[in-house]
Amino acid sequence: MAGVKAVFAMNPEVMPFVFGESEIERLRELVDVDPQRLLTWVEDREPVLEGLADVELVISGWGVPFLGAKQLEQLPALRAVVHWGGGVGFLDHSARERGIAVSSARVANGIPVAEFTIAMITLAAKDAFWVSRQYCREQREVYREAELPHTGLYGTTVGLVGASTIGMMVIEQLAARDVEVLVYDPYLGEAAAARLGVELVSDLEDLARRSTVLSLHAPVTPQTEGMISRKVLAALPDRATLVNTARGILVDQDALVEELAANRIRAILDVTEPEVLPEGHPLYTLPNVFLTPHLAGSTGVELRRLGHAALAEIERFIAGVPFAHPFPVP
């Protein structure tokens, strides 16, 4: 067994989906870790850190408890955190001052979100969800050329809000399709946009006005909450589709419901505010909404990708090599 002492910090129910038997075996070759001891988040309860003063590595994921300054004081030997989740908001800023290296699997977790987004953009352009409902309701032949003259992805204008990790993946995949891509992101410069082959748009309402499909990929910050405002939604063309695989709080949801109830636009929503919506909420039953329960991120067999990403980073840590996917502590 390797000499570096490590501890797991995650939801025990999720752990077997991320680390199977072969991954656990490899981990135990790399580090001294007890798979039976997990630090996990429990409401109003601090993690029990007794006996972990010599831990050098925390292997964390969904369900990790908050590791504040007090907790880090109890982990004086800690040198690294390998997180198979996305953000590292569970880690106190003092980790940076302590020189603790942090890795995140946000790139690995972004892959299925980008795949899901591309699928939704394609199906939105084909009117697939809405035509399917019509077909099942009317039970007759649908005369595609006569009844669906504006459907299809070819030549469609796709607007992206945010050139984040996932946004960049979506841009890369759209590059292989015959579409016009517009991007709103205050941190993306003209030169970078040109290299990506996209048009940078500086005004959200203008972006919405020009988009057949508007897809959201911005992070949640005080500046982005509610950024898809009533005015932005009103600027969308008739029959346009809003795709949200980011966070529900980015959208003025009341205004969205009003636009949808007027049957002017459509929405494909993998996220809402809150999650889960209260029983009876209109988004459950509006006919021009395709609603999924935060399905875009890693699920099922995709969770094993996160485990493999974490294993690769742990191997780098043991070898004394910098992380491939470092994450700055806030």
Tell me: the pLDDT tens digits for 217-244?
A: 999 999 999 999 999 999 999 999 999 9
pLDDT in tens, 51-65: 999 999 999 999 999
Q: Tell me the pLDDT band of 142, cut-offs 50, 70 and 90.
A: very high
Tell me the CATH architecture of domain 6-104+300-319: 3-Layer(aba) Sandwich (3.40)
**302 has a pLDDT exceeding 50:** yes
pLDDT in tens, 165-181: 999 999 999 999 999 99
Q: What is the pTM of this model?
A: 0.94
Q: Tell me the pLDDT band of 29, cut-offs 50, 70 and 90.
A: very high
- What local confidence, expressed as pLDDT, does residue 2 receive? 64
Where exactly does CATH 3.40.50.720 map onto the chain? 6-104+300-319, 110-291
- What local confidence, expressed as pLDDT, does residue 80 receive? 98
What CATH number is given for 110-291 in this structure?
3.40.50.720
**Biggest CA-to-CA distance, the chain:** 72
**Catalytic center residues:** 247, 275, 294
